[in-house]
């Protein structure tokens, strides 16, 4: 807990909390990053599950770097928001749910990307995703949904 109180006393926390615009700016950046990472992961996941057969699985997988870019934005903005009330967030159930969802979601991103690396060009031209990829895609959809619902409800519970 000492670390969390220290976080709350940093100059970053002060800026986010005390300046008029620190908090809204971070929150807004966090929303844009959310749309990028979750939006693109949703598109990839539903494609792996068989929706939108018109685009190939391989070409959709090219969205991974962009999704990681959104994730990077949200790691930074999320940490900035976290410093503001670190000791409170770690006791908030929706926050803990959100973090759990994100961790599982990120693991799924890594696992899905590994499938592509493993199979090389084979998966690029496949019209249907292998079972592994489908399983990861379902878990990924659920995990990011939980992450988003948890995140939204931090403000209410």
Partner 1 sequence: MEAFMTFLSNSWVASLMYGWAWTWPICETIHFFGMTILFGAIATTDLRLMGFFKQMPIQATHVLINIAIVGFVLNLITGIMFFCGDSFRYVPNISFQIKMVLILLAGANALYFTFKLQPTWGEWDPHGNPPQIARIVGASSLALWTGVIIFGRLIPYLGTG
List interacting residues with partner 1 (CB under 8 A).
Answer: 24, 27-28, 31-32, 34-36, 38-43, 46, 51-56, 58-60, 62-63, 66, 124, 145, 148-149, 152-153, 155-156
Q: Residue 66 Cβ, how far from partner 1 at the closest point, in Å?
A: 7
Instruction: Burial-class residue 33 by CB neighbours within 10 Å (0-12, 13-18, 19+).
Output: buried
**Which of 4, 69 has the CB closer to partner 1?**
69
Q: Residue 3 Cβ, how far from partner 1 at the closest point, in Å?
A: 29
Q: Residue 130 Cβ, how far from partner 1 at the closest point, in Å?
A: 19
**Which of 40, 133 has the CB closer to partner 1?**
40
Q: Are 106 and 75 in contact (CB under 8 A)?
A: no
**Which of 24, 122 has the CB closer to partner 1?**
24
121-126 contact pairs (CB < 8 A, 24+): 121/58, 123/57, 123/58, 123/61, 124/56, 124/57, 124/58, 124/61, 125/56, 125/58, 126/56, 126/57, 126/58
Q: Residue 6 Cβ, how far from partner 1 at the closest point, in Å?
A: 28
Q: Are 11 and 93 in contact (CB under 8 A)?
A: no
Q: Are 123 and 130 in contact (CB under 8 A)?
A: yes
**Which of 7, 38 has the CB closer to partner 1?**
38
Q: Residue 24 Cβ, how far from partner 1 at the closest point, in Å?
A: 4
Q: Are 154 and 92 in contact (CB under 8 A)?
A: yes
**Which of 1, 155 has the CB closer to partner 1?**
155
């Amino acid at each position: 807990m000492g670390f969390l109180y220290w976080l709350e006393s940093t100059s970053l926390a002060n800026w986010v909390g005390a300046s008029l615009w620190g908090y809204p700016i971070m929150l807004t950046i966090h929303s844009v990053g959310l749309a990028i990472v979750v939006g693109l992961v949703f598109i990839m996941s539903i494609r792996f599950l068989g929706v939108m057969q018109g685009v190939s699985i391989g070409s959709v997988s090219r969205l991974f770097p962009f999704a990681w870019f959104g994730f990077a934005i949200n790691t930074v903005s999320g940490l900035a928001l976290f410093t503001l009330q670190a000791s409170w967030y770690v006791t908030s159930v929706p926050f803990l749910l959100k973090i759990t969802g994100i961790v599982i979601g990120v693991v799924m991103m890594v696992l899905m990307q590994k499938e592509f690396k493993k199979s090389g060009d084979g998966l690029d031209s496949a019209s249907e995703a292998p079972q592994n990829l489908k399983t990861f895609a379902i878990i990924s959809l659920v995990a990011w949904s939980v992450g988003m619902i948890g995140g939204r409800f931090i403000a209410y519970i």
